[in-house]
Amino acid sequence: DFRKTLLVQEVATELTKGIEAAEGDAREYYDKNQKEFIVKPEWKIREIVVPTEGEAKDILVLLLQGADFAETAVARSKAPTAAKGGDKGFVGKFPFEQMQAAAAPLEVGKVSSVFKGPDGYYVVKLDDKKGGEPKPFASVKNELIKGLTLRKQQEAVLEHLNKLAGKTSIQVNEDLLK
């Protein structure tokens, strides 16, 4: 068994010698499959949560007139994040659909309109956004070249095995299998 394993390894080494992917192969794969390289988006948001829609609208007016979001959250919000100025930190997934609909399209520094959520009426502010765009080619190039090289080598070995299978006559001894 050991000899057979060594022979198989030696044949595989010979078959794959000199088979490597080039930077051009990696660039072509990257260009055709950019969605595989997109960095997961994250949003840094602040929230103010109050029990009534009227109160939320009053707060929104104050914010649009220039009131500080963090100070207003500390003073008026009923959310657990109130003490931190409403800061929820970076989130990759919004806690509920209405918040996503309100916050995801915002530009950094902008405030949402009032919307109803599970704990009352919300106003959110987008402090920062990161991700959502593809990783630069330079940061994935070496990994791509390694992966594509391995794929090309596997294809070469499989092609050789298929050729051998075509030349080999296999007979099944049914009596031995029983």
Q: What is the pLDDT of residues 123-158, one digit of tens each?
A: 999 999 998 888 899 999 999 999 999 999 999 988
**CA angle centred on 162, ends 159 and 163, rounded to 5°:** 90
Q: Is 45 exposed, middle or buried (0-12, 13-18, 19+ CB in 10 A)?
A: buried
Residue in 26, 4, 13 with CA at minimum distance from that of residue 156:
13
For 4, half-sphere exposure in the C-beta direction (CA atoms, 13 angstrom radius) is 1
Asked if 12 and 157 touch (Cβ cutoff 8 Å), the reply is yes
| pLDDT band per the 50, 70, 90 thresholds, residue 13 | confident
Looking at residue 15, what is its pLDDT? 87
pTM of the model: 0.62
| pLDDT band per the 50, 70, 90 thresholds, residue 108 | very high
For 158, half-sphere exposure in the C-beta direction (CA atoms, 13 angstrom radius) is 6
Looking at residue 145, what is its pLDDT? 94
Quote the CA–CA distance of 11 and 3 in Å, as a whole number: 12
Average predicted confidence (pLDDT) for the chain: 92
152: tokens are 């090309």
Q: Which DSSP state fits 105?
A: T
Q: Which DSSP state fits 34?
A: G
Three-state DSSP class for residue 93 = coil
